[in-house]
């Protein structure tokens, strides 16, 4: 792959996926700085592995695999390099705990509660539920995680009521 | 279910992308250049280590071979040291390469299983390679001292053997300690987390 092609592909992937990836990172971690660090690591791994993309899976599945695996490998204690992507990091209002005038307060409050509820789940469940929330199909989640479709179904059916219950608990204070 | 669909819609509405990114935006920000530098960082670190070992070996060889009447025994011991260091560096590069090549494109279950194995191989660098290299070096150096110091009295010879061997063993001990601490800080928590995740993956099977 030529350098210019690599740069173009990376820019496209970054442009199309940064919101999704950032949401996944923010489901996995709660602290804004750690989310930024993880987001950066995902993007560095996407860059480092671009030449290995063979088109055997869909590009979105490929990016998600890198994001999920990077999250699993993420070590909060390791000092990270200067945040390269800070300028382009999506601005998460819910994470920053600041009101966003452009959105209605109810949605903002729900996203905040959702983050709090997801944060109580196990790491694997956090990832699976964030993929579900992104609207991915069971087959796609299976391709990303390596679980069979029926296992994905079992896990999701177990996580959903737990998450909704936690949401209610958070809402009720 | 309806509740969940609503949650999903709200979730996806968070951090929506408004603008399309261009290559020029990323290039002008300097990110592409920094990514390229980071990509080569590990290679650079390993190259520096290899060059340092090579320079030290050459210095040792030059100093010994520039002495007059160097015997076959000393030359053989020097050869032994050089061969051990080359073999050690080769093994180090191989282990580093195989353990640093985490396959992020695998599905998570495969990734977790392979990564646990690769992270444990980092421990092998510490527990196997370093002692073997230092012991080989100590054997070679002792043989050289034994041969070169034949004319000196026993006390001086013994002192030098003990000093040199102790120095190498101490260096090995400190090296092992630092590397073990780094392993425990950097890799052990990740291995434990991956083991937990692996268990979670298996639980619902």
Q: What is the pLDDT of residues A141-164, one digit of tens each?
A: 999 999 999 999 999 999 999 999
pLDDT category of residue A172 using cuts at 50, 70 and 90: confident
Query: pTM of the full predicted structure?
Result: 0.78
CA dihedral B79, B80, B83, B87 (to 10 degrees): -170
Q: Quick check: is A30 in a domain? A: yes
What pLDDT score does B121 carry? 82
A67 or B120: which leads in pLDDT: A67
Q: Which residue of B has its CA nearest to A160?
A: B4
As a whole number of angstroms, the distance between CA A21 and CA A41 comes to 11
Q: Quick check: is A162 in a domain? A: yes
Domain count, chain B: 1
Q: Which residues of B touch A66 (CB under 8 A)?
A: 104-105
As a whole number of angstroms, the distance between CA B81 and CA B87 comes to 10
A45 & A110 share domain: no
Subunit contact A93:B39, Cβ cutoff 8 A:
no
Cα angle A128-A43-A11, degrees, rounded to a multiple of 5 = 115
Q: Quick check: is A85 in a domain? A: no
A112 & A168 share domain: yes
What pLDDT score does A121 carry? 93
Q: Quick check: is A84 in a domain? A: no
Inform me whether the C-beta atom of residue A159 falls under 8 Å from chain B C-beta atoms: no
Instruction: Residue A166: give its domain's CATH number.
Output: 1.10.10.10
A107 & A65 share domain: no
Give the distance, in angstroms, between the CA of residue A166 and the centroid of all CA atoms in the same chain.
20
Inform me whether the C-beta atom of residue B111 falls under 8 Å from chain A C-beta atoms: yes
Q: Which residues of A touch B104 (CB under 8 A)?
A: 45, 49, 65-66, 69-70
A48 has a pLDDT exceeding 90: no
Mean of pLDDT over chain B: 85
A99 has a pLDDT exceeding 50: no
% residues pLDDT > 70 (chain B) = 88
A64 & A28 share domain: yes
Domain count, chain A: 2
By three-state DSSP, how is residue A80 classified?
coil
* Structural tokens at position A151: 């296992």
Q: Quick check: is B118 in a domain? A: yes
What pLDDT score does A83 carry? 64
What pLDDT score does A98 carry? 47
A113 & A69 share domain: no
Tell which of B34, B104, B193, B201 to mutate to test the A interface (max A CBs under 10 Å).
Answer: B104
A76 or B56: which leads in pLDDT: B56
List all residues 6 or more positions away from A22 whose beta carbon is below 8 Å from its beta carbon: A35, A39, A89, A90, A92, B15
Which domain range does residue A30 map to?
Answer: 1-78
**How many other β-carbons are positioned within 10 Å of the β-carbon of residue A120?**
13
A59 & A105 share domain: no
Which domain range does residue B104 map to?
Answer: 32-203
Give the distance, in angstroms, between the CA of residue B149 and the centroid of all CA atoms in the same chain.
36
| C-alpha distance from residue A44 to each of A54, B7, B32, B93, B180 (Å) | 18, 30, 10, 23, 27
The residue among B97, B164, B85 whose CA lies nearest residue B129 is B85
Q: Quick check: is A95 in a domain? A: no
């Amino acid at each position: 792959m030529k350098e210019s092609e690599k740069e173009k592909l990376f820019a496209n992937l970054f442009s199309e996926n940064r919101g999704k990836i950032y949401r996944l990172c923010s489901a996995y971690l709660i602290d804004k700085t750690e989310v930024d660090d993880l987001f950066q690591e995902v993007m560095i791994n996407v860059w480092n592995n671009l030449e290995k993309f063979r088109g055997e899976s869909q590009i979105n599945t490929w990016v998600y695999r890198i994001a999920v695996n990077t999250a699993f490998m993420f070590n909060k204690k390791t000092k990270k390099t200067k945040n390269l992507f800070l300028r382009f990091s999506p601005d998460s209002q819910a994470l920053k705990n600041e009101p966003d005038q452009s959105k209605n307060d109810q949605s903002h409050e729900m996203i905040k509660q959702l983050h709090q509820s997801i944060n109580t789940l196990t790491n694997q469940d956090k990832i699976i539920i964030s993929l579900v929330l992104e609207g991915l199909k069971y087959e796609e989640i299976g391709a990303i995680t390596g679980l069979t479709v029926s296992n994905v179904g079992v896990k999701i059916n177990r996580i959903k009521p737990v998450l909704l219950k936690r949401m209610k608990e958070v809402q009720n204070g | 279910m309806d509740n969940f669909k609503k949650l999903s819609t709200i979730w996806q509405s968070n951090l929506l992308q408004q603008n399309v990114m261009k290559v020029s935006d990323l290039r002008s920000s300097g990110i592409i250049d920094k990514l390229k530098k980071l990509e080569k960082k590990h290679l650079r670190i390993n190259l520096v280590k290899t060059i340092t070992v090579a320079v030290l070996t050459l210095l040792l060889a030059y100093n010994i071979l520039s002495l007059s009447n160097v015997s076959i025994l000393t030359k053989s011991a020097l050869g032994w040291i050089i061969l051990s260091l080359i073999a050690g560096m080769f093994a180090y590069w191989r282990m580093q390469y195989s353990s640093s090549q985490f396959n992020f494109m695998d599905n998570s279950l495969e990734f977790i299983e392979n990564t646990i194995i690769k992270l444990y191989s980092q421990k092998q660098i510490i527990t196997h390679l370093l002692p073997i290299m230092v012991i080989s070096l100590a054997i070679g150096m002792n043989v050289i001292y034994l041969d070169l110091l034949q004319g000196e009295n026993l006390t001086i010879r013994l002192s030098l053997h003990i000093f040199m061997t102790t120095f190498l063993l101490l260096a090995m001990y400190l090296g092992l300690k630092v590397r073990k601490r780094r392993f425990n800080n950097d890799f052990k928590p990740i291995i434990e987390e991956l083991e937990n995740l692996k268990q979670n993956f298996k639980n619902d099977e």
